[in-house]
C-alpha cells in the first residue's frame, strides 16, 4: 500500500474564527440543544455576561438588561463601554482585551481573551455596540467575518456595551433556550454580586444578602436544622446549614463569580475545613461523612488570575490566592476555623442543633452498616451474573477524556427496549440499565429501603452514588420508558426515588426523560419520524399521497437500526426540573402520597386538556 504524500501543501494555518468553528468544544465545551444547563448556547450567553459582571465589579453599571426572543439574544450593560477604537479588535482578535491590564480589571472571570471571540465565531449574526463619552460605534459580523464597521458618531445614549447574537444553527442543531436554566444562572450572578440588578425579559433578579439568599431560595425554612450560618471576609463568603430531610451533601461553589460546578481546590479545602473546625469545636472525632451528611452550603472566593481546568471554567485548578496571600487551602482553612468557630460559640442554640444532626447521622450510619455490606455483596454478585447494567467505556470520573462529559446512563423498562438501545448505543459513552417490572413507590420510606430493594440497590451501585455525589459515574441519567400509562407511571416512580434520596441529581441537572417518536411516516423516497400528532399531520401533508404510517406503541417496537437516530447526535431530552414554588416534600406528598381531592381534580383537569387537544 502506497504511503500518502506529506508535503508543505498538507500544512495549513487556521485563522481565529476557523479554529473556533472547527473545534468549538475547546472553547465552549459540549454543543447540545439547550436541554442541559452546560450546553454551548448558555456558555455563549455566560461569556457575554461575564464581561458585564466585570464592569459591575469595577464599580461601573448597576443594571444589566437581557432580552431573548426565539433565538436572538441581546445583552446590554451600563458600564464604561469598550474603547471605541478597539470595538472590532476585542471581539475578533485572539488574546485581546482589557483583562490583561490588572489596573483596569482585578480578580476577573475572563482572563484568556477568548470569550466574546467564541460567541462571535459561533454566531450567524453578531453585533457589538459601545457607547462612551457621548459617542458610539458598532460592528456587525457573520460567523466571525466582519460585515459592517461603523464610523464613530455622536449620541445621547447611556454609556455601556450592547451585544446581540444569534447562535449559528450550523453548529447548534435544533436548539432552544430554556428560561429555567437562564434564571438559575442569573440568580447565581446576583447572589454573588449584591446590589446588581439583572432584568431578563422584564423579570428582575436582585439579591441583598448574597449566599445567604442562595441557600434560603434552595431550601425551605421548615427543612433547615438551624438558620443559615453566613460568614464574609475580604475575598471569601460562605453559607452553611443542614437539611432535615436531604440525605447527601449539596454544595454551590464559585470563583470570581464563576459557578464552578465541578468544584476544585477551593471546594475540597472548604469541605475539609468545615469537618476539622466542627470536630475541634465539639471536641469529638466525628466521621467526616457524619458531619457533612445533609449539609447544604455555598462558598465563593476571589483569586488573582485563577487557573481553571477548562475553557468553560467549571473546576478551579489554582492552588494560590495570588499576590502575597497564602495558598487557597490555607486561606480557606484559616477563615473557616476562625469565623465558624466564633459563630458556634456565639450561637449555642445553632451549635446544639448541628451536633444533634451529626449524632443522628452517626446512629443512622451504624444502623445501616450491616445492611450496606450485604447490599454491596449482592450488587457485586448481581453484576457478575446478570446483564442488568451494560456499561460504557468512559465515565464522568475519567478526567483524561474530554468526552466523559457526555457519559449517559439509560434506565429502561423490559428486555426488548433495553435490547434495542444496547444494540444502537455508542459503547464509549452510553450505558444501559434494565429495570425488572415497576419500581417500588419510595415516598416516605427511609434510606434503608435503597439497600434492601434489589432494583434500587443495583441502580445506586450502577450510578456509584452511595458515598458521595462526587463519585457519580454518568453526567446524564436518562429515563427511557414507553409513552403509555405504564411507562408514565414508571417515570414517576423513578423520579420519586431520586427526589426522595438523591435530589441533587435533579437540582444539578443530571436527570432527563428520553423523547422517542410516536409515529413513522414514510414513502419510497423519504422517512419522517414524528414526536406529536401535529408533526404526524405535517409529515402526511409533505409525503402525500397516502404514505405508510406506523404508530410506535413501545420502545421495543423500534428497531436498533432506527433507534440509533434517536439516541445519537439528534437525541431529544426533556430535563427534569424542580418547581421552586413547591418544596420537594410538597411535590412528593402531592403526587405520591395518599389520594386527595386536590390531586384527583388536577388529574381530571389535565386529562380533559389532553383529550381536548387531541380531538382538536
Give the pLDDT confidence score for residue 594 in this predicted structure.
64
Angstrom CA distances, 407 to 431, 470, 472, stand at 8, 15, 11
Paired strand residues for 12: none
Give the pLDDT confidence score for residue 378 in this predicted structure.
67
State the Cα–Cα distance between residues 400 and 453, nearest whole angstrom.
35
State the Cα–Cα distance between residues 28 and 91, nearest whole angstrom.
16
Give the pLDDT confidence score for residue 381 in this predicted structure.
64
Give the pLDDT confidence score for residue 608 in this predicted structure.
42
Give the pLDDT confidence score for residue 403 in this predicted structure.
38
Buried b (16+ CB within 10 A) or exposed e, 23-57: ebeebbbbbbbbbbbbbbbbbbbbbbbbbbbbbbb
- Output the nine-digit C-alpha cell for 310: 477548562
Structural domains of the chain sorted by starting position, each given as residue range(s) with its CATH number in brackets? 16-205 (3.30.565.10), 211-364 (3.30.230.10), 386-516+552-580 (3.40.50.670), 519-550 (no CATH), 585-616 (no CATH)
Give the pLDDT confidence score for residue 612 in this predicted structure.
40
Contact, 551 vs 531, CB < 8 A? no
Nearest alpha-carbon partner for 278 in 269, 288, 268: 288
Task: List, as own/partner pairs, every contact residues 582-588 make where C-beta atoms lie below 8 angstroms and the sequence separation is at least 24, other chains included.
Answer: 583/220, 583/222, 583/223, 584/245, 584/499, 584/503, 585/223, 585/245, 587/499, 588/443, 588/444, 588/496, 588/499, 588/500
Give the pLDDT confidence score for residue 100 in this predicted structure.
37
Walking along the chain (616 residues) 10 residues at a time, the average pLDDT comes out as 54 70 82 86 92 88 94 94 90 60 44 74 95 94 93 93 95 89 93 94 94 91 93 93 87 87 86 96 94 93 75 64 69 94 96 96 84 70 66 72 66 80 89 87 82 85 80 90 82 88 85 89 90 89 87 82 84 79 61 62 50 37
pTM score, whole prediction: 0.78
Nearest alpha-carbon partner for 424 in 414, 432, 434, 413: 432
Outline where 386-511 has alpha helix (H).
Answer: 414-424, 448-452, 454-463, 485-501, 503-507
Residue 139 dihedral angles phi and psi, to the nearest 5°: -140, 145
Amino acid at each position: 500500500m502506497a504511503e500518502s504524500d506529506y508535503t508543505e501543501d498538507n500544512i495549513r494555518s487556521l485563522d481565529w474564527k476557523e479554529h473556533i468553528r472547527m473545534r468549538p468544544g475547546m472553547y465552549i465545551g459540549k454543543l447540545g440543544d439547550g436541554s442541559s444547563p452546560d450546553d454551548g448556547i448558555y456558555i455563549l450567553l455566560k461569556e457575554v455576561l461575564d464581561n458585564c459582571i466585570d464592569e459591575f465589579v469595577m464599580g461601573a453599571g448597576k443594571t444589566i438588561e437581557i432580552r431573548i426572543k426565539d433565538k436572538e439574544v441581546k445583552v446590554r450593560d451600563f458600564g464604561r463601554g469598550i474603547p471605541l477604537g478597539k470595538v472590532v479588535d476585542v471581539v475578533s482578535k485572539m488574546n485581546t482585551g482589557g483583562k490583561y491590564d490588572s489596573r483596569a480589571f482585578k480578580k476577573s472571570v475572563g482572563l484568556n481573551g477568548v470569550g466574546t471571540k467564541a460567541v462571535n465565531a459561533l454566531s450567524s449574526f453578531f453585533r457589538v455596540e459601545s457607547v462612551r463619552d457621548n459617542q458610539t460605534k458598532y460592528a456587525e459580523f457573520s460567523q466571525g467575518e466582519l460585515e459592517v464597521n461603523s464610523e464613530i458618531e455622536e449620541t445621547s445614549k447611556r454609556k455601556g456595551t450592547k451585544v446581540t447574537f444569534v447562535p449559528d444553527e450550523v453548529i447548534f442543531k435544533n436548539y432552544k433556550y430554556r428560561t429555567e436554566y437562564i434564571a438559575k444562572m442569573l440568580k447565581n450572578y446576583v447572589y454573588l454580586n449584591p446590589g446588581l440588578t439583572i432584568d431578563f425579559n422584564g423579570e428582575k433578579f436582585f439579591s441583598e444578602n448574597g449566599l445567604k439568599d442562595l441557600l434560603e431560595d434552595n431550601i425551605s425554612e421548615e427543612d433547615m436544622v438551624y438558620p443559615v450560618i453566613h460568614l464574609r471576609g475580604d475575598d471569601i463568603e460562605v453559607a452553611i446549614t443542614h437539611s432535615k430531610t436531604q440525605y447527601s451533601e449539596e454544595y454551590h461553589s464559585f470563583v470570581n463569580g464563576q459557578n464552578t460546578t465541578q468544584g476544585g481546590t477551593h471546594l475540597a479545602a472548604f469541605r475539609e475545613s468545615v469537618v476539622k473546625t466542627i470536630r475541634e469545636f465539639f471536641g469529638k472525632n466525628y466521621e467526616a461523612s457524619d458531619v457533612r451528611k445533609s449539609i447544604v452550603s455555598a462558598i465563593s472566593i476571589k483569586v488573582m488570575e485563577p487557573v481553571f481546568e477548562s475553557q468553560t471554567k467549571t473546576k478551579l485548578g489554582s492552588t494560590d490566592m495570588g499576590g502575597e496571600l497564602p495558598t487557597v487551602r490555607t486561606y480557606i482553612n484559616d477563615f473557616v476555623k476562625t469565623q465558624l468557630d466564633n459563630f458556634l460559640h456565639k450561637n449555642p442554640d445553632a451549635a446544639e442543633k448541628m451536633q444533634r444532626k451529626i449524632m443522628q447521622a452517626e446512629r443512622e450510619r451504624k444502623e445501616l452498616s450491616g445492611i450496606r455490606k450485604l447490599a454491596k455483596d449482592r450488587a457485586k454478585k448481581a453484576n457478575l451474573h446478570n446483564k442488568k447494567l451494560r456499561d460504557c467505556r468512559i465515565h464522568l470520573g475519567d478526567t483524561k477524556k474530554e468526552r466523559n462529559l457526555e457519559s449517559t446512563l439509560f434506565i429502561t423498562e423490559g428486555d426488548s427496549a433495553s435490547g434495542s438501545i444496547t444494540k444502537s448505543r455508542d459503547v464509549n459513552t452510553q450505558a444501559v440499565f434494565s429495570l425488572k417490572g415497576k419500581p417500588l413507590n419510595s415516598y416516605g420510606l427511609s434510606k434503608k429501603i435503597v439497600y434492601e430493594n434489589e432494583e434500587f440497590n443495583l441502580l445506586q451501585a450502577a450510578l456509584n452514588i452511595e458515598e458521595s455525589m462526587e463519585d457519580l459515574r454518568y453526567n446524564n441519567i436518562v429515563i427511557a420508558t414507553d409513552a403509555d400509562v405504564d411507562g408514565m407511571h414508571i417515570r414517576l416512580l423513578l423520579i420519586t426515588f431520586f427526589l426522595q434520596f438523591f435530589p441533587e441529581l435533579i437540582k444539578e441537572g443530571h436527570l432527563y426523560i428520553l423523547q422517542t417518536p410516536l409515529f413513522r411516516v414514510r414513502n419510497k423516497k423519504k422517512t419522517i419520524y414524528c414526536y406529536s400528532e401535529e408533526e404526524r399531520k405535517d409529515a402526511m401533508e409533505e409525503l402525500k399521497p397516502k404514505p405508510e404510517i406506523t404508530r410506535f406503541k413501545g420502545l421495543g417496537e423500534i428497531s436498533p437500526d432506527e433507534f440509533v437516530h434517536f439516541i445519537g447526535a439528534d437525541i431529544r431530552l426533556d430535563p427534569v426540573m424542580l418547581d421552586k414554588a413547591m418544596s420537594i416534600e410538597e411535590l412528593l406528598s402531592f403526587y405520591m402520597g395518599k389520594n386527595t381531592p386536590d390531586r384527583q381534580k388536577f388529574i381530571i383537569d389535565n386529562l380533559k386538556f389532553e383529550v381536548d387537544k387531541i380531538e382538536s
